[in-house]
Structure 1
């Protein structure tokens, strides 16, 4: 079947977000904090067990219990300039995913080369997706279907921080969404979620551009702009 290519509108994929922080400093996610450690080997992780109960005008409904996620993260520092990070997640007890696996090399203090399976720097929840980041049991629908958390793809690019200007940035070329696989992947109530390739036998014919800029110069406030543009792969 003829390849389906769709231009992904920036209107759906550009996010301006605000997040509270108690000091004028960059808010690092778990991978970022692990890379700041002095130890050669760093191990982290978290678990999430959900309980959902439908309340329907006093009628009885069965509740649901689920070991939703068990996450292990490993970081290894080869030397002062070269680091490796990986995140392995078990979902619902029986599904295993590699959510991050990338190598980072510091060219200059403000310029780091990063490549591998990486989180798309879009919004807040996709990069800071620990359960303590959001209210409620489930992630917000915006961050499940429009920004399909956890959204990760294979690519390479640059990241860095300018402390004197209180700015940080990420700029990556990655494989895009899989728009068609026997049937359309981007349609209806699933939003972009079914189009994620997640580093598993991914196809690529037109790299997509993903970027984010953060400003963290005001105490108690962090501002950011994320963007994503490109064509689907199919």
Structure 2
């Protein structure tokens, strides 16, 4: 195969010189780029043929992203150069029972919500450098409960085909859903609670780091500004609470940045249709807040492991997450929390789900994929002495 490519490259060089008189170095660079593109295409075709042969094709080929991004969000990686535009919309209808479990009226009316409208804008300068961003409008407006925000905006610089540097407003690479949260890619109308209360999806913070992928593995490691565990700072974050860590997100908006945290992730992706991985987040979330004249450290660790397998119409997915918060008693005092309102010293959650595409055997391009999910979440698995859960 290599000899054939070299022959093609030499032939194209000769033709180019005779017809256009282009410099040899310039033409050689063009041919090298074309050969690299062909090799990548052949590798992709080979993987697809292997998947079909083994019967492990993914439920939906459109779910394939790039370098940690979801399919539409990663569109900029698939173009040769220039502007890339993508997006999605999400509309949610909710209806409620007329009565609570104790028989009292629920008082809740049905809702129809233009939940999210997303625009992806990217620009690929060349094979090494690109910019990618997401603009999100929630709940149809910026009034009432709505908002318009920058979900992510970053620059990639690829040092090699499989390794690069990344900096900007980043999606934190923890869990299954946070980076890949486009509705057609995950099952359900709402995201798993574990990836809401313990892993605060959608979670983005400003920082920098490395990323890369091979045929067998993908990985990302960043240093980002810490969550605001206390709240009340310039970002408007409310801080950690008895219901989890979600209130600590600063979203890149005037983020308090006295502390930074490390986050890392690795996934095994060598088998078609299978992903097994783990990730962690660790750092101080206190940002030098003081209590009784001393600085309070709020060390927070999040660890999770995940599994996803898609084959022959089946979609299996499972995740377990654990989190710990040190000096939660000091945090409670800083926030004025008491009784059962304590922030958890330990948090835990897990879920497992399975779905099946009823149209898979018909070779249809459409999907009808009912699913079942079972989940347990405890945001107060342990609380400080003197508090209740």
Q: Same fold (TM over 0.5)?
A: yes
Match of 1:71 among 118, 140, 146: 118
Moved more, 169-178 or 220-229: 220-229
Provide the secondary structure at the position in 1 that maps to 2:156.
strand
Match of 2:135 among 85, 88, 112: 88
Which of residues 81, 92, 95 is equivalent to 1:53?
95
Which residue number in structure 2 is paired with residue 3 of structure 1?
A: none
Shift of 1:27: 4.1
Aligned position for 1:206: 259
Unaligned runs of 5+ in 1: 1-19
TM-score (structure 1 length as normaliser): 0.82
1:201-220 deviation line (CA, Å, top 9, x unaligned)? 01212221111111111122
TM-score (normalizing by structure 2): 0.51
Residue aligned with 1:42, SS: strand
Which stretch shows the higher mean deviation, 130-139 or 145-154?
130-139
Contact kept? 2:75, 2:84, Cα under 8 Å: no
The structure having more radius of gyration, on CA atoms, is 2
The alpha-carbon deviation at position 61 of structure 1 amounts to 5.5
**Partners of 2:231 and 2:248 within 8 A in 1:** no
Aligned partner of 1:194 among 233, 247, 254: 247
1:171 to 212, 221, 230: 221
The residue aligned with 1:8 is none
| Aligned-pair CA distance for 1:56 | 4.4
Q: Is the 8 A contact 1:125 1:133 kept in 2?
A: no
Determine the structure 1 residue equivalent to 2:58.
22
CA–CA separation in structure 1 for the residues paired with 2:153 and 2:57: 27
**Distance in 2 between residues matched to 1:102 and 1:167, nearest whole Å:** 22
Deviations 1:105-142 (A, max 9, x none): 01122220000001000111101111223333222211
C-alpha distance in 1 between matches for 2:96 and 2:80:
47
Contact persistence 1:110–1:162 (CA under 8 A): yes
Structure scoring higher RCO (CA < 8 A, sep ≥ 6) equals 1
Aligned to 1:35, what secondary structure does the other structure show?
Answer: helix
Query: How far does residue 182 in structure 1 lie from its aligned partner after superposition?
Result: 3.8
- Report what 2:239 is aligned to: 185
Please identify which structure carries the higher helix content.
Answer: 2
Aligned to 2:292: none
Q: Deviations over 1:73-103 (max 9, x none)?
A: 0110112211000100000122101000000
User: 74, 77, 83: which one pairs with 1:35?
Assistant: 77
* Displacement over 6 Å in runs of 4+: none
C-alpha contact (below 8 Å) 1:21/1:27 kept by paired residues = no
Secondary structure at the counterpart of residue 251 of structure 2: coil
> Aligned partners of 2:132, 2:86: CA distance in 1, in Å?
11
Q: Is the 8 A contact 1:146 1:192 kept in 2?
A: yes
Distance 1:148 1:115 in 2: 21
